[in-house]
Amino acid sequence: MEPIVSDLPQSLSAIVSYLFAQRETILNNWRTACQADPTLDIGLSLSREEFNNLLPLILDILEARLLGKEPGIDPAITAQAHGLHRWQKSFDLLNTMRELSLLTQMLYNELAVFQGLFPQTETSLMLQVHQQIALVMQETMEGSVSKFDELQRLEATQRATTLQQALAQMTELSQDRVNLLRTSTHDLQGGLGIINGAAYMLKLEGLSEEQREQYLGMLSRNLASVEVMLKELMDLSRIEAGEETLQIQPVDVAPLLNELVESGQTLARERRLVLRANGPASLSVETDPIKLQRIMQNLLLNALRYTPTGFISVSWSLENEARWLVSVQDSGPGLPPSLAGVLGDQLRPTVEATSVLAADAGEPVTVLPEHVPTIPDSAELSELAQHTRQGEGIGLQIVKRLCELLKASLEIESITGRGTLFRIRFPLHYTH
């Protein structure tokens, strides 16, 4: 049945009422458009609440602006919180900008429908609404961009800190025999040359036993840690350069995870830790088993390394028809006040709203974003870098990047003195 077209001009409040009455339709059409967009291969496993996130609040802000009222929500904080949410869910910046652009288009489409229903509505009024939509959505995009920019600054600091730690190891190795080993410690590849040079010195005739022990000590203190840091930096560079490709295949992840936990039992016993695996005996999913293993090895080794006493648990389960999850929980000291701690703050779990009409119209009641966890300024980040444990920040960054590659979301809960929980939600299936 064709809609009834009215010849009566409409007021601004009538346009606002229409957009409010179409809110569910707008959000549903937005998700459909995102699913149909070939450039957006992410977010399809998100629930309705996760996908909508804070956009109903953005629509509340738009409505208040159209009516000339002061929004009851801070637009900048809401926009930044949405950007953080999308980063947590492994959207990149282009994905986030594209989905917001599609939402803008859905609003314009509904405005065009309204004009078709009420063609006598003043053009100046329609233009006013059009401009306000553009302004609110631009502010939302800018807020999201600013949050992504903060996160990139944190990641850059973590990389620089890892490089500095590697250089410090090289300096320690070379300082006592710098006249014999003239390779520069300002280049990591050169640093490995120093280690090779020290190994060569052990073979020379005429060295005293004390000198040999000195070089052997240098090697044992530095070789393993520098190689690990260098490998992690190279791994991260490959991921960020797009050189890592996915090999998605059907996998029963239960045996893989059980084997991984079993491989950590020797180190757990050495450190007097109880390491347990908990999950169904079989869990068939689609994933890249090599990258899943890299993620879990990194998290498990960190837990084994930084938990002085107590327990470590690796668990997995099916969450729903679209996702499965895996967790690593320890009874360690919690994330320290370091770069890793700052990153952990950005990955705290979020509460998703169920209502799209009003912040208090559903259960659970929406948690309005009063603040977004911020990234400290450069001076404070430099200070925090001094307290970052060797390789800690870069390892977590690799985990986050691999999660993004697998369209998985990473959450971190950490309580000082009680422990840390890493939880990852993976898609059950991928579109090929």
Task: Map out the domains of the chain as residue ranges.
Answer: 12-150, 155-240, 249-427
Assign 249 to helix, strand or coil: strand
* Euclidean distance between CA atoms 280 and 206, whole angstroms: 62
Whole-angstrom Cα distance, residue 183 to residue 185?
A: 6
**pLDDT above 80: residue 30:** yes
Q: Is-contact 423 327, C-beta < 8 A?
A: yes
Q: Average of pLDDT values for 187-213?
A: 51
Residue 184 confidence class, pLDDT cut points 50, 70, 90: very low
Q: Report residue 172's pLDDT band, with 50, 70 and 90 as the boundaries.
A: low
What residue has token string 């938990």? 307
Summarize the confidence of residues 251-270 as an average pLDDT.
94
322: Cα within 13 Å, side-chain hemisphere: 11
Residue 182: per-residue pLDDT: 37
Tallying the residues shown for the chain, one arrives at 432
8 A C-beta contact, residue 255 and residue 279: no
Model confidence over 301-354: pLDDT tens digits?
889 988 999 999 999 999 988 899 999 999 998 887 665 666 677 777 776 766
Q: What is the pLDDT of residues 87-120, one digit of tens each?
A: 888 888 888 899 999 999 999 999 999 999 988 8
Q: Is the pLDDT of residue 181 over 50?
A: no
Cβ-based neighbour number of residue 19 at 10 Å? 20
pLDDT of residue 40: 81
CA 72 from centre of chain: 29
Which pLDDT belongs to residue 264?
Answer: 92
With CA atoms as reference, report the closest residue to 390 among 165, 230, 237, 101: 165
What is the CATH code of the structural domain delimited by 12-150? 1.10.490.70
Q: Long-range contacts for 266-274 (Cβ within 8 Å, ≥24 apart)?
A: 267/304, 268/304, 268/312, 271/304, 271/307, 271/308, 272/309, 273/304, 273/307, 273/309, 273/310, 273/311, 273/312, 274/310, 274/311, 274/312
pLDDT for residue 180: 36
Kindly indicate the confidence band of residue 285, based on its pLDDT and cuts at 50, 70 and 90.
very high
More confident residue, 340 or 286: 286
Instruction: Please check the confidence at residue 188 and state whether its pLDDT lies above 50.
Output: no
Residue 183 pLDDT exceeds 50: no
Q: Which residues contact 5 (CB under 8 A, 6 or more apart)?
A: 116, 117, 118, 119
pLDDT band at 256; cut points 50, 70, 90: very high
Q: For residue 174, what are the contacts with CB-CB under 8 A and spacing of at least 6?
A: 181, 183, 185, 194
Lowest mean pLDDT among 185-194, 207-216, 285-294, 324-333: 185-194
Residue 167's pLDDT is 54
For 249-427, which CATH superfamily applies?
A: Histidine kinase-like ATPase, C-terminal domain (3.30.565.10)
Is the pLDDT confidence value at 193 over 50? no
Percent with pLDDT over 90 in the chain: 37
pLDDT at position 331 is 94
| H or E element in which residue 109 lies | helix 93-117
Residue 148: pLDDT band with limits 50, 70, 90? confident
The arrangement of strands across the sheet holding 409-415 comes to 273-278, 310-318, 323-330, 419-427, 409-415
The pLDDT of residue 272: 94
* Mean of pLDDT over the chain: 78
Distance CA 259, CA 276 (A): 11
What pLDDT does residue 64 have?
93
